[in-house]
Every structure is written in structure tokens, then in C-alpha cells.
Amino acid sequence: MPQSPIHAVHEAEGARFVDFGGWTMPVQYSGVLAEHAAVRENVGIFDVSHLGRFEVAGPHATDVLRQQLCNDITKVEPGRAQYTMALNERGGVEDDIIVWRLEKDRYWVMPNGTNSDEIVARFRAGVGAETTVEDIRDSSVLFAVQGPKAADVLETVLGVVPGRFRIIDAEYRDTMVIAAGTGYTGERGAEIWAPLSVASGLWMDLRAAGATACGLGSRDTLRLEMGFPLWGQDLDEDTTPLEAGLGWVVAWDHDFVGKDALLAQKGNLTKELVAFTTEGRAIPRHGYEVTTSSGSGVVSSGNFSPTLGHGIGMAYVSPPMGDEDTLTVTIRKDRVPGTRVTLPFLDR
């Protein structure tokens, strides 16, 4: 099973590992709650080298991205990043993706690790001879530095701090690395691409500058507090961005795979994602059943919110809930009332 290029560093850090999307990656070091708090209050670092990354370049690269992805990459200038999705013809989400627009016609596309091979293949099948599609995952690492004090760490180690969704080159030990002001936690910070030659040193220098080592366990509780979807739980091939409440990711003024299906569905949803909280420490979890005044559903993601101190969850319900409808979640044998809320759970 593939693992991080700096797996040995994580072992030395005392990490525990988990199989995630076919990769063996750190799930925790000191503990999920401590790591979660470090990111919310201070700064943490995640190794997210399992995430896919491939370059699409050439004179028609922009057209390829506009056709393959439902957001419109021309809405952002070179030097900026965008959140987008690859849909199937039914409008279902094959993957949600971050794109770095490095130059006018040169992009780094970053799918989820578990979907990377399929998305690379999809792009390769969809381009002509003048467009190159090159998988660059195995020759690099990707670290996320996140938290209110992330800027201090980035300044110390890289000498630069990217703004939100900005991409900047930086020099580290005479080697070029790239930092983008993105993440998956709701905090300020950056995701840093670096070649393998400097990977271990960069991790250790970012740690030495004050970042707490964090695993995928706290990454999951952090993203859930922000209501960010996890592909495979909150998004999948049978769910459209409209059903997921992510209509803002769809740019309607261009053609893309899945657009016809979305147009047909617009204003006529049969299921929708709702967010809810539970009182006390009874915790909704993935797969638990939900009952609404007018229908039913299933929890797609749920956990204990370390910051809020109670349960939080997202569920797909059918039919969509009316304003007056109430919701309960079945936690073991008990039907626990849920309070519907708008995302994010945590203001940032």
C-alpha cells in the first residue's frame, strides 16, 4: 500500500496510521482532541501527500478544464486556486477538486487521493495532442500548515505567506516550493507543495517553527466543523452538487460534463443535505438513520465537535425538509432530537 514519502519521519514522531483512500497515512500523533485544539488555537501541520496532483498544460488546457469541471477556472486569475468538481453525465460528483492556476494555460489539478487515478484517466481521455497531462504526485509531497498562527510558521520557514486562495513560489534550501492559501480546516494557512529532495527537512523545519503534528483524525473533525464535504461520505457519484448544497460551485455560464442533468434537476430536488446539532454528548455518526416530519434520511458525516462540545452532523434527507419540519437521529436505540442549522457549524 502506498504511504507518504516521509513515512519514516511520521513513525519517528510516534504517529499511528490508518488506511485512507488506499494509502497508509498518519491518523494521529498526540491525540485527536489535542491536535484539533492546536489548529483552532495555534498552528498544526498535516501530511496530505496522498492527495492527487497532476499538471494540465498547453494552449487548450483552459478549455479542457472548463469542459471537465463544473466551476469556471477562468473566474480566477493565474496565481490563484479554485474549488471545483468533476461531475458525471448524471450530474453526480465523481470528485471534488482544488485547482491551482499556476499560469494562464498551466494548471495543477488536485483530486482526492482515492479518486486520483480515475480523474487523471478522465483528463487524459479528454485532451488532444497539444495538451499534456502529467501525474506529479509521486515526485512530491503536500503539507498543510493550518491555524491562526500559521502565518508565523510560514514566515519563519518560507519567508512568504500566501493570502486566501493565492499561490506563491517560495525558496526553501535553494529549492523552489509552492504555497497556496488553501486548506480543509477553516483556519488560515497554506498547503505547500515540495519536491522529495527537501520533504523531510521541510516537515521538520515547519515542526520546529511551532506547528503541531496533526493526523487525518483531527483533519476530519476540523473539516466537519466547517461543513466541508468529504468525498465518499458527503459526496458521491449518485449525488449532485445541488443536492449537496454546493450550487455555488457550479458556474452555469459555460458548458461542462453533467450540466444538462443539473439543469433538469434545478429547483426540483428529491433529496438534500441538511446540517444539524445534537445536545449533550450523544454523537451522530456516518450511517445513522434520520427521521424528519415528512421523510427520512441517513447521516453522511457526524462526530463530536471538540470546539463546540456537542454532536454535529450532516445528513441527506428525502424529501427536502420544509421550514417547520423537525429532525431526529437514531443513535443506537434512542431517537435524539437534532436542531437544524446552517453551515458552517463554527463561524470563522
Report in angstroms how near the CB of residue 175 gets to other proteins at its nearest.
36
Q: Is residue 286 part of the contact set for other proteins (CB under 8 A)?
A: no
Judged by beta carbon, residue 75 or residue 335, the one nearer other proteins is 335
* Binders of other proteins in range 318-347 (CB under 8 A): 332
Q: Is residue 282 part of the contact set for other proteins (CB under 8 A)?
A: yes
Report in angstroms how near the CB of residue 312 gets to other proteins at its nearest.
12
Which 8-state DSSP code applies to residue 342?
A: P
Q: Site for other proteins (CB under 8 A): which residue of 285, 295, 330, 343?
A: 285
Q: Is residue 33 part of the contact set for other proteins (CB under 8 A)?
A: yes
Report in angstroms how near the CB of residue 281 gets to other proteins at its nearest.
3
Judged by beta carbon, residue 53 or residue 219, the one nearer other proteins is 219
How many residues belong to the site for other proteins (CB under 8 A)?
16
Bridge pairing between strands 212-214 and 44-47: parallel
Judged by beta carbon, residue 146 or residue 303, the one nearer other proteins is 303
Q: Which helix (H) or strand (E) is 203 found in, with range?
A: helix 199-208
Judged by beta carbon, residue 154 or residue 283, the one nearer other proteins is 283
Q: Helix 116-125 to helix 61-68 angle, to the nearest 10 degrees? A: 120
What gap in Å lies between CA 203 and CA 260, rounded to an integer? 45
Report in angstroms how near the CB of residue 336 gets to other proteins at its nearest.
12
What gap in Å lies between CA 10 and CA 30, rounded to an integer? 12
Classified as helix, coil or strand, 63 is helix
Residue 335: CB atoms within 10 A of its CB come to 12
Report in angstroms how near the CB of residue 313 gets to other proteins at its nearest.
13
Q: Is residue 289 part of the contact set for other proteins (CB under 8 A)?
A: no
Is residue 283 within 8 A of residue 299, CB to CB? The reply is no
Judged by beta carbon, residue 8 or residue 308, the one nearer other proteins is 308
Q: Is residue 283 part of the contact set for other proteins (CB under 8 A)?
A: yes
Judged by beta carbon, residue 31 or residue 247, the one nearer other proteins is 31
Report in angstroms how near the CB of residue 288 gets to other proteins at its nearest.
10
296 phi/psi in degrees, rounded to 5: -150, 175
* Binders of other proteins in range 166-225 (CB under 8 A): 217, 221
Judged by beta carbon, residue 82 or residue 303, the one nearer other proteins is 303
Q: Which residues contact 24 (CB under 8 A, 6 or more apart)?
A: 1, 2, 3, 4, 7, 17, 18
Q: Site for other proteins (CB under 8 A): which residue of 107, 108, 304, 316?
A: 304
Q: Amino acid letter at 102?
A: L
Q: Is residue 14 part of the contact set for other proteins (CB under 8 A)?
A: no
Q: Which residues contact 20 (CB under 8 A, 6 or more apart)?
A: 27, 50, 113, 114, 216
Q: Site for other proteins (CB under 8 A): which residue of 6, 25, 32, 180?
A: 32
Judged by beta carbon, residue 282 or residue 298, the one nearer other proteins is 282
Gyration radius of the chain's alpha carbons: 20
* Neighbouring C-alpha atoms within 13 Å toward the C-beta of 348: 22
Q: Amino acid letter at 146?
A: Q
What gap in Å lies between CA 178 and CA 107, rounded to an integer? 13
Q: Which residues contact 96 (CB under 8 A, 6 or more apart)?
A: 83, 84, 85, 112, 229, 231, 235, 249
Is residue 259 within 8 A of residue 304, CB to CB? The reply is no
* Binders of other proteins in range 107-136 (CB under 8 A): none
Judged by beta carbon, residue 180 or residue 314, the one nearer other proteins is 314
For other proteins, the binding residues (CB under 8 A) are 28, 31-34, 217, 221, 280-283, 285, 303-304, 306, 332
